[in-house]
Structure 1
Amino acid sequence: MAREDYDCRNEELGVGKTDEVKTGVCGKGLKGTFTYKCESRDWKPLEDNCVLEVIDNLKNKLQSLRVEEIPGFMADLSSATAKHDINITQSAATVQAIVDILFKIADLSQATSINNPVMGSFLNTVDIIVSGNVSDTWSKLNKGNNTEDTSIKLLSAIEDISDRLTDEFAINETSIQLNRTTIKNSFNITSALPNSATEIVIPQVPQETTITIIIFTTLDKVLPSQGTNDSRKSDVRINGDVVVVKVNETLNNISFAFDITNQSLGNPQCVFWNFNLSNWDSTGCEVKPYISKGNETGKITCECNHTTSFSILMSPFSIKNIALAYITYIGVAISMASLIICLIIETIVWKSVRRNDTSYMRHVSIVNIAVSLLIANICFIIGAAIAEQEQPTSVGRCSPAVFFMHFFYLALFFWMLMSALLLFYRTVMVLSQMSRAKMMVIAFIVSYGAPLLIAVITVASTAGPQNYISKRNACWLNWLESKALLAFVIPALTIVAINLVVLIVVLYKIMRRVVGAATQPDEKHALVVIARCVAILTPIFGLTWGFGIGTMVSQDLGIHVVFALLNSLQGFFILVFGTLLDSKSTSAGTSSTSGLTAFQRMQRRTAAEIRSWNLKVCPVEVGCRRFMANGTVIGYG
């Protein structure tokens, strides 16, 4: 019998096929199991659940631990951790077991008081599992589908046990400093830890208050930069010490001056860990200018009106950010200049474009599109200035800019919709005649009323400004928390879809030669210009905001660059395709000084040309226009 061919072979694990999983026994001095997977003809480690035996024994002992036994137990845990520190920090399963123990001890401590020796043992254990080269170990622990990161569980244990401290004392470990003291008027402390100069200042307390402050210099390597459900963890980083503040009175003003760990990062945010949100939160905290003492530089000052676990988040200053900023601002400048030129041209040719309702309504739409985008761009510049000056972005100052940007960007799209519907009305509904005044009323009500309604509902539905604007240092609609950005994206892309459908219908009618049997040449020209404008600008606007959606879900540089280019140059596209490519508008502007009136130009048409239009097939029910030789309408018959 031929020997069966196996992909993986090992004396301990035996044989197995590719992708087969086997569980092995941990080595000497360890408890638990080790999972292996057959890959590339070898058994590769898949999951390490081996816990140091001494720690596993303590964890088992914890199940029946009484409150009065906490001091002795913590001394044993501290001693065992110190003795096996190297093995512990390299074993994610052992660190996880120690965090579980500390969490349970913090829970038990709520029924008793914690003195200096117990807290010393607690912090000594914490110091070992968060110090040194532990980033890889904690990265493994913070991955997976756990509802709560191991690091957040550790932070919760530290905060909980800090509530039960008695007496006044100080503890100093390698990366941890604890000070518990009573203050009467004001309080000021500076970190004495290596490579740290964090300052905590409480300018005034209402009455005698006991305060506990714990400074950590290595928790930035342990805690997540963002919440467990945020896919954009690489966008921001903890860039300073983490400080836990516990006090038995309400404090409305506490100041932190943090050293910046990495000077290459910018956009500072003062934050605390919100256990309810499972994320960093900036509510009640704001960045303030740091007043240097002597030659001190590279610090961030945070002022907060509450106490908990604080730190600073900062974003990378990258070539990507700088390039996008230049593209955006240069593009917006070109866009605004183009829109101003567009409005100047429209002012010059305004009298000559009123010759028929279609031409008039087309130019009304172009003017309002240009005005809407120009105001939206101005609001964008104001919002960008606010976001750059205040980190995190000031909600109070940013909200009005966001509201008007939302409103006028939507107005731009609704005026595009009016242009498409005008094209549809004049091309398809040839038997219908609507007065100019009625068309104007409908256009203005829809184009400004609908955006205003959507913008107001968005503000109301996001329950205040905290979920209305973005919390990512930008003046724009919120996406991550409230999805308020959908109030812009959905209407805009819906209008793009409607306009494309209108174009298809109009092209179908034109190909069947049903359009405009009795339409005058000027009106036909206006319809052609509208069709060309809608056909070109609609895909451009749709493509722009399609890439805008892409920027929400992707960090790819190409998507961001394309969106920045298309978005910032919309005004240029409006000038070119809405105004400059209209030969009659541009010629009207240049010929307005030649002395030829509209009446004289119309007289140059031959009677044969006018009669040829008048003799075209016209529905009997509505009658045909009668013309004089010069083209003046003298009646219907």
Structure 2
Amino acid sequence: MCVTRDLSDLLNDAKDLQRGLGIVEKNAYNIFDRLRISTEQQTVNSFANVNASVDVLATITNASKIQNSQWDAKVLSVIAKSTSNLLNGSLNDSWKGYNENESLASTYLKAIEDVINQTYLPTGHTDNDLIQENVQITIYKGSDANSKSINSFKVNATCQSNSPTVQTAIKNLASKLPNNLNKQETDPSDIILSVIADNCNKIKLELRKDRLPNHEMYCVFWNFSTSQWSDEGCKWGGVDNPNICECEHLSAFTILMAKEPIKLLYNEELTYAGLGLSIGSLTLCLVIEFLVWNAVVKSNIAHFRHTVLVNIMVSLLIADCSFLASPTPSSNPSNWCLSLTVMKHFCYLAVFFWMMCLGLGLLHQVIFVFVHLRKKVYLGLCFFLGYVCPLIIVVVTFISHNNGATGSYYSTETCWLMYKGVLKGSIYAFLLPVFVIVFVNMFTMAIVISRILKPTLSEGSSHDEKEVARSIVKTVVLLTPTLGITWILGLFMQMLDLTKQPYAQIVNYAFTFFNSFQGFFILLTGCFGEKRVNCSLNMISNDSVLLAGTFSNGYWFSTFQLLNIKQYRLIKTYSCLRHKLR
């Protein structure tokens, strides 16, 4: 490997000092100043020259240890400049050597720490900042019982020490070190913070790193013996203090962020199982509505309710199918992923707007008992809210996010809307309307429950109180799936980061369970939970059995058997009417 003459001579002079040919204390400034000049030259842009420059730092430091001597603090100004020059962006490729197993960056970091350790700092030394583009060396004098708060490159370090404290902040070095922790790939902070002080047993660090939601952070130090990051003795401040680290020792620190978010065990499997069951349940529910429509829709109120339910089912069915169609977006074409995102955005919004129509209809029925809704007005309003409003939201969101551009409107990794931070990203064009509707429907449910409670408050009967309690439970169970109340868990999901264990995990699993199985719950409460639907289904079922038994006798189909069928229908109709009157 070819090295420039200046660096070659400089390295030889440092090796002479290491062999004892000269006094380090007298020659240190000259060596470091010549290194500064050499690293400012354009000819340094090769691995051989960068490696030689780092060797100069390591060699002269070793020579100082051998001679048991230290150099004056004035050399730190030229050290800061020369070490900063080596980290300029133009030299990034020059750090890549022929042998990837040996880390030049680790040697560089060790050399800087050793250089600082070999610097003599008297007790009365004044505070000083040596600021360069990529390296800042900050010196704080000793102060009894006072902590040191060091600020450089927007990072802070605080420790208890009576001796001078030297902090070195280094930019553009972390990316040159192996960025994994316990075989997990991580994304490092831009800054490595090295703190040197005597009698400092515990240090508090503030390291800047933008954290993505549900991504774990690790406070680490560089372990020179293993040549890798280690979190031993360091503790992360958690989601409430994401940039804070506390460590029980001094070293070169940084903060790492996991490249992948925390994944909940079996959460995806639960989601797809629930969606599959929901799709089957919604299909069955639509078939049931088709079979019993004429039997159960006998009034305007029944017509309103079942019309809204059918539209909720259709919208949710299409949305769930679109969700299942995009489990592996990496294998889907970009246009297909965009189409699925738009479809899910529109259909899920339509589900909630139709749920709001159901809630408003129920609210009107409870409050204005003697004022009947006009069929055309109510259905016209429902179809406007159910389909036109979601369409307007989707179109405006699509256009305002670069006409549906990737990374602006949707993500190709999830085939869903983008989240870019608190109240940032297209996802809020879905979340905000949903949460508003959920709160409106929760208000509706509260009004219904208050109406149920009124007779009990006036009568004060213990028996009636039990009946009212049963009625309240029944109301909550029947209305929760069709009004989308379980989606309130989504609000808590946005508030709780997955690093907050175990509360975030419990909320996430609950949200996944209730909302992926929503179609199944609608089948139970919206179809099987209605007595008139059950009566109609029983009549259809028993008619089929009687007819099958009758036709099995061939041509012996008598008038007596027909009368039996009609008699059975009358009995079932009377039974259903009794249930209705109750």
- 1:336 matched to 2:279: yes
Task: Tell me what 2:538 maps to.
Answer: 590
Match of 2:529 among 581, 584, 598: 581
What is the deviation of 1:580? 1.3
Task: Tell me what 1:230 maps to.
Answer: 211
Task: Tell me what 2:391 maps to.
Answer: 452
Match of 1:438 among 377, 402, 427: 377
What is the deviation of 1:573? 1.4
Task: Tell me what 2:73 maps to.
Answer: none
- Provide TM-score, normalisation by structure 2: 0.53
Task: Tell me what 2:419 maps to.
Answer: 479
Match of 1:130 among 92, 99, 105: 105
What is the deviation of 1:586? 1.1
- Preserved contact between residue 334 and residue 412 of structure 2 (Cα < 8 Å): no
What is the deviation of 1:356? 0.7
Paired residue type of 1:580: F
Distance 1:480 1:511, change over 3 A: same
What is the deviation of 1:539? 6.5
- Preserved contact between residue 419 and residue 534 of structure 1 (Cα < 8 Å): no
Distance in 2 between the 1:371 and 1:493 partners? 21
Task: Tell me what 1:100 maps to.
Answer: 84
Paired residue type of 1:81: V
Distance in 1 between the 2:213 and 2:573 partners? 68
- Preserved contact between residue 424 and residue 502 of structure 1 (Cα < 8 Å): yes
Distance in 2 between the 1:416 and 1:331 partners? 20
- 1:567 matched to 2:515: yes
SS in 1 for 2:417: coil
Task: Tell me what 1:467 maps to.
Answer: 407
Distance in 2 between the 1:79 and 1:386 partners? 48
- Greater share of residues in helix: 2
What is the deviation of 1:81? 1.5
What is the deviation of 1:478? 0.5
Distance in 2 between the 1:470 and 1:576 partners? 34
Distance in 2 between the 1:502 and 1:351 partners? 29
1:249-398 mapped onto 2 (5 Å cutoff): 320=263, 323-387=266-330, 389=331, 395-398=334-337
What is the deviation of 1:559? 4.0
SS in 1 for 2:416: coil
Higher mean C-alpha displacement, 377-386 vs 480-489:
480-489
- Preserved contact between residue 39 and residue 85 of structure 2 (Cα < 8 Å): no
1:149-228 mapped onto 2 (5 Å cutoff): 153=172, 224=187, 228=209
Distance 1:536 1:120, change over 3 A: closer
What is the deviation of 1:88? 8.8
- 1:420 matched to 2:347: no
Paired residue type of 1:360: H
Distance 1:121 1:420, change over 3 A: closer
- Preserved contact between residue 470 and residue 476 of structure 1 (Cα < 8 Å): yes
- 1:533 matched to 2:473: no
What is the deviation of 1:103? 4.5
SS in 2 for 1:339: helix
Distance in 2 between the 1:531 and 1:597 partners? 38
> Alpha-carbon deviations, 1:499-547, whole Å to 9, x = none?
1212223333454469xxxxxxxxxxxx999886335654742344235
Distance in 1 between the 2:567 and 2:52 partners? 101
> Alpha-carbon deviations, 1:404-452, whole Å to 9, x = none?
1111111111111111111111221234333223221111111111111
- Preserved contact between residue 85 and residue 128 of structure 1 (Cα < 8 Å): no
Distance in 1 between the 2:392 and 2:398 partners? 10
> Alpha-carbon deviations, 1:551-601, whole Å to 9, x = none?
766575444333322231111111112221112211112124555699968
SS in 2 for 1:425: helix
What is the deviation of 1:462? 1.8
Distance 1:485 1:105, change over 3 A: closer
- Preserved contact between residue 402 and residue 476 of structure 1 (Cα < 8 Å): yes
Distance in 2 between the 1:560 and 1:377 partners? 19
Distance 1:432 1:326, change over 3 A: same
Which runs of 5 or more structure 2 residues have no equivalent in the other structure? Answer: 1-13, 15-24, 63-75, 114-134, 137-149, 156-167, 191-208, 219-256, 457-471, 544-564
SS in 1 for 2:211: coil
Task: Tell me what 1:494 maps to.
Answer: 436
> Alpha-carbon deviations, 1:270-296, whole Å to 9, x = none?
xxxxxxxxxxxxxxxxxxxxxxxxxxx
> Alpha-carbon deviations, 1:443-491, whole Å to 9, x = none?
1111111111111122122223223455482121100264211111111
- Preserved contact between residue 54 and residue 80 of structure 1 (Cα < 8 Å): no
Paired residue type of 1:496: V
- Preserved contact between residue 312 and residue 351 of structure 2 (Cα < 8 Å): yes
- Preserved contact between residue 341 and residue 416 of structure 2 (Cα < 8 Å): yes
- 1:542 matched to 2:482: no
Distance in 1 between the 2:152 and 2:27 partners? 28
SS in 2 for 1:479: coil
Task: Tell me what 1:180 maps to.
Answer: none
- Preserved contact between residue 383 and residue 402 of structure 1 (Cα < 8 Å): no
Match of 1:505 among 447, 456, 460: 447
Task: Tell me what 1:82 maps to.
Answer: 55
Distance in 1 between the 2:60 and 2:274 partners? 56
SS in 2 for 1:430: coil
SS in 2 for 1:581: coil
Distance in 1 between the 2:515 and 2:453 partners? 34
State the aligned residue count: 392
What is the deviation of 1:375? 0.8
Distance in 2 between the 1:60 and 1:233 partners? 47
- Provide TM-score, normalisation by structure 1: 0.49
Query: How well do the aligned residues superpose, as a CA RMSD in angstroms?
Result: 5.6
> Alpha-carbon deviations, 1:77-123, whole Å to 9, x = none?
7545214449999xxx999876522256949xxxxxxxxxx997997
